[in-house]
Amino acid sequence: MYRQYFRQALQMLKESPFFSVITILGTALAICMIMVMVIVFEIQNKGFKPELNRDRTLYVKDVAITHKNEEDGGMNYSLVGGRVAKECFFTLKTPEAVSMQLMRMQTLVTSTDQTRRMKCDQIRTDEGFWKIFDFEFLAGKPFLRSDVESNIKKAVISRRLALRIFGLADESVIGQTILVARRPYVVGGIVEDVSPLANRAYAQIWIPYAQSDVDRLINEETLEGLIGSYRVLILARSSGDFNKIKTEVEQNVARFNNSLQELKIDLMKQPDTQMESRLRLWSNVVPDVPRMLGQYALVLIVLLLVPAMNLSGLTASRMQKRMGELGVRKAFGANRGTLIRQVLAENLAVTLLDGVLGLLFSYVAVFLLKDWLLGSFELASLNSGLTLSAGMLIRPAIFFFAFLFCLLLNLLSAAIPAWNASSGNIVDSLNDK
């Protein structure tokens, strides 16, 4: 039965090609705008390799420092200091893993004979980093805790860097030496290239920070060792542990502040979730996630209602021309429910076609406008262009939302015309034939 309804819908499209093209393109573009928003939201907030654990990761990137005897003013904002990280976060018992990393920086990597070189984005981090992120290792393995503690100069490099320096990206590269800012490092692992959109994991080379450097920085850091250059990442066993971890962090911070002489720190409601961290544009402004989600939902509703109202008028006009057909069906025993299902099914067939085109348009738009839609000041400074993988775009959630919007659009645009058409008198309907 429903197959017949779909055939009828396609036949109606063929009978009025110009009208059909205008309707389909208009609706497809509306769905395209909706799906662009959904795709961008998914890329920015949901997990993809190597940041598969975004849904259970917490982030700390800023700390506020003020004097204990000052009620107002005198506040400094900084990245996390090594002393703060060690005493407030590495002492946590609840998380699965804790890591800290120095601010990403650019460095020059060369071969030992200096004939091949590449300007790279570099991250200095620790062994916990490899537990938080799920990198695809092509050869070798990540550096271990023993490597960090013993100041062994090992490096994990990307496929692109390996090909540039060695011409290969396989096991033969493991154990070879590269120069990082003129210092020798042994290649311990090679990973698949990472998209800059995986903002916290992205680099072309990852090296362990030396524990001696951390201790030195703590001694050299100003304001009682509170100001530093680190960001902290916390991997929970599940998102259900977030509140427990935050409570434990608050307790550690309170204990840490009691040990300070003149100063105190404020994490400003950190650690943050993925979405909170992305929205924390300013150190002193706590992100308002509910407000952002409300604004986002409002835009989606407007984008959904406008084409729905337009389609509703078009559907009602088309139903008026088909009153005779519907009258004949009523005369042969079709009830209201049957007629409504017919109209909704026919309209759904058209709407699904619009949805497929809209989804295709949205993928094209995201590819063409990725620098504008997904770019940021931080990404603009990286040594690589934005890349989109199939794993970012081909996601069940995106297809689900596309189908959901098509279904809602169908109900909003066709329900009232279908009801009105099915409510008409049989005689009047036949007279309209």
- Is the pLDDT assigned to residue 270 strictly greater than 80? yes
Name, in order, each residue with C-beta under 8 angstroms of 112's C-beta and a sequence gap of 6 or more: 177, 178, 179, 184
Compute the average pLDDT of residues 170-184. Answer: 93
| Mean pLDDT, the chain, whole residue set | 83
pLDDT value at position 326?
Answer: 62
Backbone Cα Rg of the chain: 29
Q: What are phi and psi of 406, to 5 degrees?
A: -65, -45
CA contacts within 13 A on the Cβ side of 38: 27
Indicate the pTM of the whole model: 0.83
pLDDT tens-digit series, residues 219-243: 555 566 677 888 999 999 999 999 9
pLDDT at res. 329: 65
Residue 213's φ and ψ, nearest 5 degrees, are -70, -40
Mean pLDDT of 157-163: 96
Taking only the tens place, the pLDDT of each residue in 54-78 is 999 999 988 988 887 766 556 788 8
The yes-or-no verdict on residue 184 having pLDDT over 90 is: yes
| Distance of alpha carbon 275 from alpha carbon 45, whole angstroms | 6
Q: Residue 253 above 60 pLDDT?
A: yes
